[in-house]
């Protein structure tokens, strides 16, 4: 493995410019990796390292990544057991004071995205996580909705992250190395390992500092279309894994949000079966965000 670890205290120019490790997991990502990498290296904040953890791509992903002649980019290619395994490996190799994750089919929304997160960290009073909004693409590359909202109800948290709505989009955030400590992603979970990981980190954190939200209308990341949000079978698996995570972390499995998620899935399955894929695809994104709004409303009432 040709990878030289960089001392983060040497790389950090000063207290105000901490080294940010940006982690990208790839596998046969030739159609999207160029846009992702371009958005990363174009950031106005320059004190970054970019770790591409590739799962053994056999297309042109590696060639494209290597064509970016930027010494801040480190590329490792070896077989892995999925995105969470790749993230674990990359975290172990990272040198940053803060760590960020971005999907190979995602892009930073603007060139000051990382700068805004670092500035947020500087005024956050020691927050372990700093995050902003995420823009979600629809099937025709249009913006179909947004996620990310202010952290709230911390004192009522009691490790019930669904009750608190967990408004933190993982891709639009930076995470303090102190927040990670020895916690890694559970690779037995295929979809919600990020939520499980965050919950375990937050439980161990046990400090008053809550995640800090950058209340800016401009998103941090534009998330590509596809994956869990557009696949019914994956949504069913997500719901099942959510129950596993709750049980694993001693949280009650009776939860209104999970019930609503199940109802949503059943409704969408019926729409797909009755009206076909075209109607399903055209309705899916707007329906998804409508349901999320309903969920938030319910939890402000109860």
Contact between residue 219 and residue 133 where contact means Cβ atoms under 8 Å apart: yes
Q: Which of 9-23, 65-79, 224-238 has the highest mean pLDDT?
A: 65-79
Q: What is the pLDDT at residue 60?
A: 98
Report whether pLDDT(165) > 60: no
Contact between residue 183 and residue 197 where contact means Cβ atoms under 8 Å apart: yes
Q: What is the pTM of this model?
A: 0.78
Q: Which domains does the chain have, with CATH numbers?
A: 8-230 (3.90.550.10)
Contact between residue 164 and residue 152 where contact means Cβ atoms under 8 Å apart: yes
Averaged over 262-283, what is the pLDDT? 70
Residue 164 or residue 267, greater confidence? 267
Burial pattern 115-141, b for ≥16 Cβ within 10 A else e, equals ebbbebbeebeebbbbbbbbbbbbeee
To which residue do tokens 């030739």 refer?
Answer: 30
Q: What is the pLDDT at residue 58?
A: 97
Going by the DSSP 8-state scheme, the letter that residue 74 receives in this structure is E
- Quick count: other Cβ atoms within 10 Å of Cβ 41? 15
Q: What is the pLDDT at residue 81?
A: 95
pLDDT digits (tens, 9 = 90+) for 89-116: 999 999 999 999 999 999 999 999 999 9
What lies within 8 Å, CB to CB, of 163 at 6+ separation is 153, 156, 255, 257, 299
Q: What is the pLDDT at residue 63?
A: 98
pLDDT cut 70: percent of the chain above it: 72
- Quick count: other Cβ atoms within 10 Å of Cβ 10? 9
Average pLDDT value over all residues in the chain: 79
Contact between residue 131 and residue 213 where contact means Cβ atoms under 8 Å apart: yes
Q: What is the pLDDT at residue 284?
A: 56
């Amino acid at each position: 493995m040709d990878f030289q670890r960089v001392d983060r205290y040497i790389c950090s120019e000063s207290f105000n410019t901490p080294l940010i490790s940006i982690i990208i997991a790839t596998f046969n990502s030739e159609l999207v990796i160029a846009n992702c990498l371009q958005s990363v290296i174009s950031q106005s904040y320059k004190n970054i390292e970019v770790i591409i953890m590739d799962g053994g791509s056999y297309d042109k992903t590696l060639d494209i990544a290597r064509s970016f002649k930027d010494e801040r980019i480190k590329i490792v290619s070896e077989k892995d057991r999925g995105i969470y395994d790749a993230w674990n490996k990359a975290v172990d190799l990272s040198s940053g004071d803060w760590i960020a994750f971005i999907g190979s089919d995602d892009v930073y929304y603007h060139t000051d995205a990382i700068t805004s997160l670092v500035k947020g960290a500087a005024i956050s009073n020691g927050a372990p996580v700093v995050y902003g909004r995420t823009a979600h693409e629809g099937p025709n590359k249009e913006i179909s909705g947004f996620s990310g909202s202010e952290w709230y109800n911390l004192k009522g948290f009691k490790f019930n992250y669904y009750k608190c709505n967990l408004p933190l989009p993982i891709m639009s955030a930076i995470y303090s190395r102190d927040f990670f400590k020895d916690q890694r992603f559970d690779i037995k979970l295929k979809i919600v390992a990020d939520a499980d990981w965050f919950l375990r980190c937050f439980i161990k954190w046990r400090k008053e500092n809550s995640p800090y939200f950058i209340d800016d209308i401009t998103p941090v990341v534009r998330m590509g279309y596809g994956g869990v949000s557009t696949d019914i079978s994956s949504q069913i698996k997500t719901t099942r894994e959510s129950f596993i995570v709750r049980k694993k972390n001693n949280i009650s499995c009776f939860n209104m949000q999970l019930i609503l998620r199940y109802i949503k899935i059943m409704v969408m399955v019926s729409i797909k079966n009755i009206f076909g894929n075209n109607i399903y695809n055209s309705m899916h994104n707007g329906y998804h965000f409508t349901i999320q709004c309903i969920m938030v409303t319910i939890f402000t009432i109860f």
